[in-house]
């Protein structure tokens, strides 16, 4: 196998984002996506952070804020986290949780996501799609 076609299997995925308000982001994502705090740090080289996940998940979110030199969020409307929820009842419930958690429903730029789910935006303009399909690696 050539190095250009080599593959690896990641053991875990961290989605790291600078945010304007750590506690607000943690509360929104925790409530909206059913995640819990799995880690926290303070003043690690000037950074504070909160990590959200759940046992058995292959990913977690990390939200950070620099104490002295905040790095402002800079998402575009195409920077998406997509959560696949194929069961219709669970999908509806997930969408209601996002609204209840403080996310605002927005119209996605890509019509593909409009046809397959609902797109939500947090207070820093990061977007999450709740997709009503199952994901497959075809």
Residue linked to tokens 């804020």: 65
Number of folded domains that form the chain: 2
Residue 36 has pLDDT above 80, yes or no: yes
Q: Are residues 108 and 61 in the same domain?
A: no
Give pTM, 2 decimals: 0.89
Inside any domain, residue 98: yes
Q: Are residues 60 and 18 in the same domain?
A: yes
- Residue pLDDT, tens place only, 83-96: 999 999 999 999 99
Q: For residues 11-35, give the mean pLDDT.
A: 95
d(CA 130, CA 100): 14
Q: For residues 84-109, give the mean pLDDT.
A: 97
Kindly list the distances between the CA atom of residue 103 and the CA atoms of 41, 98, 110, in Å, as whole numbers in the listed order: 25, 5, 19
Residue 52 has pLDDT above 90, yes or no: yes
Q: Are residues 87 and 109 in the same domain?
A: yes
Choose one of 25, 41, 66: the last residue of a domain. Answer: 66
d(CA 117, CA 77): 16
Give the pLDDT confidence score for residue 39 in this predicted structure: 96
Q: Are residues 36 and 61 in the same domain?
A: yes
Residue 137 has pLDDT above 70, yes or no: yes
Measured in residues, the chain has a length of: 138
Inside any domain, residue 91: yes
Give the pLDDT confidence score for residue 3 in this predicted structure: 56
Token code pair at residue 8: 């690896």
CATH code of the domain containing 54: 3.10.180.10
Domain span holding position 55: 11-66
Residues 6 or more apart from 41 whose CB is under 8 A from it? 47, 48, 49
């Amino acid at each position: 196998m050539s190095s250009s076609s080599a593959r690896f299997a990641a053991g875990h995925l961290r989605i790291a984002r600078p945010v304007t308000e750590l506690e607000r982001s943690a509360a929104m994502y925790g409530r909206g996506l059913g995640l819990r705090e799995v880690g926290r740090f303070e003043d690690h080289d000037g950074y504070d952070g909160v990590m959200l996940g759940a046992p058995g998940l292959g990913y977690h979110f990390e939200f950070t804020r620099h104490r002295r030199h905040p790095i402002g969020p800079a998402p575009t409307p195409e920077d998406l986290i997509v959560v696949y929820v194929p069961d219709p009842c669970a999908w509806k419930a997930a969408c209601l949780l996002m609204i209840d958690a403080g996310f605002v429903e927005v119209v996605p730029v890509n019509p593909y996501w409009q046809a397959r789910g609902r797109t939500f935006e947090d207070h820093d303009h990061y977007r999450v799609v709740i997709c009503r399909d199952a994901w497959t690696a075809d």
